[in-house]
């Protein structure tokens, strides 16, 4: 329904139309760092999952145009139910969400009644509703540190983030077996070749990367944490092991530094571009603002249950906004 042919929008000045509609609708445009540069550049705010959740909860706009993936737009709707939340392409999902169907998650929870569910925000509203506390990559460490050591924990759906936290905190957790297909695609062999080519150049990695990539990282953190690391870097080059669209913000902020995306399997593939994030385009954003479609709608019972676990995250994470930091590996 919201898949325009290029022909139909020929001659439309998309940028000025988006800006016009934004004012007309009293809309705010929120974008994740993995969006295309043209979308990041027109957004009112670009951030990581935690920062975007906070912005969505605080905005006084009538419409939130969310340029990210569905679980992020759902989070905005959970926190701001009175707002109209639009996502340019409803098919913008996430492999982590797909890996964790609510029915199976509920059965797993029921099988472990003495465990709490600490759940990564990259999941459906239904899974959030079945969880106790939500975390993002920039809030996970602060939150985990507040959970008593004798409390048993299920961590889902990202087994790499869960494994990273578990190793760092020396704490056993039952890990749900989901992965991010984008971070999973980095190649250790190719990364080692790149490091040999750039001796001494640091590597910054997202904790969704598997351990064989994290093991070579000088810094591990959320997208905003990696961006902050790039800003404060004393050297002039950085290898970036996360979705490469974040490099746009790094180059804007630090034009004299060189940022190199970590390679995938053949050293030169586009396998580290998130295919879900890439579904959002200027054309679809324009149509979404014009038609106020596709909209995020949620069952009220699920929304309220999901809000409880998200609110718990926002309370426990307070003070972490902007730091985006899981620290060194
Ligand atoms: P951040 O919260 O670090 O931006 O991560 C979101 C995400 O989906 C990473 O793949
Ligand atoms: Fe999901 Fe990975 Fe894309 Fe992030 S990069 S939205 S975790 S598939």
What is the position in ligand 1's atom list of the atom closest to the CA of 223?
A: 3
- Closest C-alpha to 22, from 63, 82, 83: 63
In terms of Cβ atoms closer than 10 Å to its own Cβ (0-12, 13-18, 19+), residue 74 is: buried
Is 219 labeled as ligand-binding?
A: no
Three-state secondary structure readout of the chain = CCCCCCHHHCCCCHHHHHHHHHHHHCEEEEEECCCCHHHHHHCCEEECHHHHHHHHHHCCCCEEEEECCHHHHHHHHHHCCCCEEECCCCCCCCHHHHCCCHHHHHHHHHHCCCEEEEEECCCCHHHHHCCCEEECCCCHHHHHCCCCCCCEEEEECEHHHHHHHHHHHCCCCEECCECCCCHHHECHHHHHHHHHHCCCCCEEECCCCCHHHHCCCCEEECHHHHHHHHHHCCCCEEEEECCHHHHHHHHHHCCCCEEEECCECCCCCCCCCCCCHHHCCHHHHHHHHHHCCCECCCCHHHHHHHHHHHHHHHHHHCCCCCCCECCCC
> Is residue 327 pLDDT above 60, yes or no?
no
Q: Is the peptide bond before 249 cis (omega within 30 degrees of 0)?
A: no
- Closest residue (by CA) to atom 7 of ligand 2? 180
Is 274 labeled as ligand-binding?
A: yes
Q: In this structure, what are the phi and psi dihedrals at residue 300, rounded to the nearest 5 degrees?
A: -65, -35
Residue-level pLDDT at 319 = 53
How far does the centroid of ligand 1 lie from the alpha carbon of residue 6, in Å? Answer: 30
C-alpha separations of 273 from 76, 124, 162 in Å: 24, 22, 22
Is 234 labeled as ligand-binding?
A: no
Q: To the nearest whole percent, how much of the chain has pLDDT over 90? A: 90
**What pTM, to 2 d.p., does this model score?**
0.94
What is the average pLDDT across 216-236? 97
Q: Could you report the per-residue pLDDT of 236-247, keeping only the tens digit for each?
A: 999 999 999 999
Distance CA 167, CA 215 (A): 12
Q: Are residues 163 and 129 in the same domain?
A: yes
Residues with CB under 6 A from ligand 2: 34, 69, 94-96, 122, 180-182, 208, 243, 274, 276-277
Q: Could you report the per-residue pLDDT of 162-182, keeping only the tens digit for each?
A: 999 999 999 999 999 999 999
Q: Are residues 103 and 171 in the same domain?
A: yes
Q: Are residues 171 and 109 in the same domain?
A: yes
How far does the centroid of ligand 2 lie from the alpha carbon of residue 94, in Å? Answer: 5
Is position 172 within any domain? yes
Is position 105 within any domain? yes
Domain membership of residue 311 as a residue range:
96-179+303-325
Looking at every residue in the chain, the average pLDDT score rounds to: 93
Q: Are residues 85 and 224 in the same domain?
A: no
Q: Are residues 158 and 293 in the same domain?
A: no
What is the average pLDDT across 262-278? 87
pLDDT band at 271 (very low <50, low <70, confident <90, very high): confident
Number of separate domains in the chain: 3
∠ Cα 94 100 106 (to 5°): 150
CB 191 within 8 A of CB 262: yes
Distance CA 179, CA 161 (A): 9
Residue-level pLDDT at 328 = 34
For tokens 């999973």, what's the residue?
A: 184
Q: Are residues 308 and 161 in the same domain?
A: yes
Residue 288: CATH number of its domain:
3.40.50.10800
At 14, list the tokens.
Answer: 């998309």
Is position 271 within any domain? no
CB 299 within 8 A of CB 307: no
Q: Are residues 220 and 240 in the same domain?
A: yes
Q: Are residues 13 and 84 in the same domain?
A: yes
């Amino acid at each position: 329904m919201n898949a325009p042919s290029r022909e139909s929008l020929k001659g439309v000045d998309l940028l000025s139309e988006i800006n016009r509609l934004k004012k007309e609708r009293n809309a705010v445009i929120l974008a994740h760092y993995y969006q295309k540069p043209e979308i990041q550049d027109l957004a009112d705010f670009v951030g990581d999952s935690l920062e975007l959740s906070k912005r969505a909860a605080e905005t006084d706009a009538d419409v939130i145009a969310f340029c990210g993936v569905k679980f992020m737009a759902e989070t905005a709707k959970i926190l701001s139910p009175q707002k109209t939340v639009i996502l340019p392409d409803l098919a913008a999902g996430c492999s982590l969400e797909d890996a964790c169907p609510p029915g199976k998650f509920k059965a797993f929870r029921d099988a472990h009644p003495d465990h709490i569910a600490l759940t990564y925000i990259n999941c459906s509203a239904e899974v959030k509703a079945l969880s106790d506390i939500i975390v993002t990559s920039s809030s996970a460490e602060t939150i985990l540190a507040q959970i008593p050591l004798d409390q048993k924990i299920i961590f889902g759906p990202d087994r790499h983030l869960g494994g990273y936290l578990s190793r760092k905190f020396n704490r056993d957790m039952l890990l749900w077996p989901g992965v991010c297909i984008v971070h999973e695609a980095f190649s250790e062999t190719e990364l080692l070749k790149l490091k040999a080519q750039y001796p001494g150049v640091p590597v910054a990695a997202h904790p969704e990367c598997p351990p064989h990539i994290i093991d070579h990282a000088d810094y591990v953190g959320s997208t905003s944490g990696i961006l902050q690391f790039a800003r404060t870097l004393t050297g002039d080059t950085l290898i970036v092991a996360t979705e490469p669209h974040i490099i746009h913000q790094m180059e804007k902020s630090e034009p004299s530094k060189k940022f190199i995306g970590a390679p995938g399997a053949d050293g030169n593939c586009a396998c580290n571009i998130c295919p879900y994030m890439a579904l959002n385009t200027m054309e679809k954003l324009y149509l979404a603002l014009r038609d106020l479609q596709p909209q995020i709608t949620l069952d009220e019972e699920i929304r309220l249950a999901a809000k409880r676990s998200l609110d718990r995250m926002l309370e426990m994470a307070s003070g972490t906004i902007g730091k985006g930091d899981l620290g060194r590996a």
